[in-house]
Chain A
Amino acid sequence: MLIVLAVVGPALYRVSPNTMDLSMVGIGPTTTHPLGTDESGRDVLARLLAGGRVSLTVGLLAMVLAVGLGTTIGSIAGFAGGWVDTLLMRLTDAALAVPALFVVILVLTFLGPSVVTLLCAIGATSWMGVARVVRGELCVLRQQPFVEAAQALGTPQLAIMLRHMLPSIVPTVLVAATVGVPSAILTESALSFLGLGVQPPAASWGNMLSGAQTYLTSSPALALYPGLLILLTVLSVNALGEALRQARS
């Protein structure tokens, strides 16, 4: 529902999110601006829709990256076993022990904040959970009769991995991914809020909030909408994940 709104919304609601109209600064809801305007006279509804696009895109892509990394590392560890496994899992533990937000802030300030660096940084700091789950699954799978049968038939290791084992972990990975999307969205909005994520004038729910912080006393509604939307998005993705998990068991 929210995804649909963010995708088709800007097409239906043809008001530019970045046009400033200084004669209409900080007004309440009117017929031309259903949710009013912000401190620079920009239409709030249009910015919310545009921001939603950015937030959802970053959330999804960052998760795709994290799942890709996590699955790769997890499957190498789970399949190879031995010292490779130990090394990779130590690395995962180390990555888990680091305050990820600090590292992301660091990357963004030194490499310059852009949407691409943002989603790479988020992806690169959130693969650990997936890696652990994938490795765990593979360790169990390796003992399964059908894998042993394939090995007995002389199937090359790589083929066993790709053809026989990876397909069986797809559901698990999907569930792990739905768990990750909300946290990626939250991280994106937090960073944009700190001024390190999506840069103004482009809208994102996070940077709309940081703009609204200054005008908290005079126009609290500006701070209300983006936050509510983040909350709703995260809740609905969580509900989706929960449904997926229940469908599996």
Chain B
Amino acid sequence: MSTQQSRSAAKLMLAPAVFLLMAWMLVPLSMTLYFSFKKYLPLRGGDLGWVGFDNYTRFVSSSSFWPAIGTTFLIVGGVLVITVMLGILFALLLDQPFWGQGIVRIMFIAPFFVMPTVSGLVWKNMFMDPVNGFFAHLSKAFGSDPIQWLSQESILSLTIILSWQWLPFATLILLTAIQSLDSDQIEAAEMDGARLLGRFWFIIIPHLARAITIVILIQTIFLLAIFAEIFVTTAGAFGTKTLTYLIFQRVLESQNVGLGSAGGVYAIILANIIAIFLMRIVGKNLSD
């Protein structure tokens, strides 16, 4: 029941947020589009004119493009598999009654609040350093050679670091979803003689399907954009250059803005494809 007056007041109240986000989106985006069609080298001659789709073809045909796509795919896929699978198990575990639930929950969630540069550097030095790291000491205690984590198993190392950071997010969301499951339903299934595994597959997993989808989509968007963890650990060396990192290097390190901008447009398109699926789910929730 809104009057004419409150309607126009509402519009006025909405305006600043809409205007700011519009500017935040349109201004840089159109600049990126503009640069992507130019040969633009700020340190080596500046604006060297229009080149059409040249940057777009050069970005995908450069020797670092496919490796970067491969790395991105491995890291994002690896972290998704680990966090979702362990997340389901941990959520089921945390849902059981046990002593000290509050403290244990805090321990499970804590890694999410650690800033990316801290977790990157702590894992790199205190755990994965082949000489002084915790894992190296463990290997020596067992009489085996320490693993050169970040140089020889670089993608695995980053997958471990990122999984540690994102596991709490998956666990927390899946736990929230499990807790909304009706215990009558479980008990009924138990009485019908459903085994533990049967209960898991036919009741719990279908109930979690929506939450799992949301975890996957949101994590994918964040994981495609990871930057600091790579910046402080390998700086893109040892095959850890993701699409995001490759674009960063093109733009700021080698100052090839045209080429980097074309890469940026690819990244934006990729993120939007995933975003469409996410928005569909979130949007459905809105109309409920």
A and B associate in one complex: no
